[in-house]
Chain A
Amino acid sequence: MPRIQVSSPVRALPVARVSCRHVALLILCGVGLVLAACLPSMAPFDPVSLEMAQTLKKESMTLIGKATDPPNLHMDAITQVQKKLQDALNYEAAKVTPNEIAVRQWKLLGDPGRNLLGGFLKKWQDEKVGRSPTFLTNVKSLVSRAFDEIIQTENQKPKQP
Chain B
Amino acid sequence: MVRKELPLAITFITGGIVILANFLAPAWFVQTNKDITVWYQIVTALFCGLGVVNLCRIHGKKVSQKREGWPFSVVMLVSMFGFMLIALYVGQQHQLYKNLYNNTIVPLNATMYSILVFYIASAAYRAFRVRSAEATILLVTAAIVMLGKAPIGEAVLGSWVASWTTWIFDVPNTAGMRGIQLGATLGGIAMALRVLIGIERAHFGGTGGE
Q: Do A and B come from one complex?
A: no
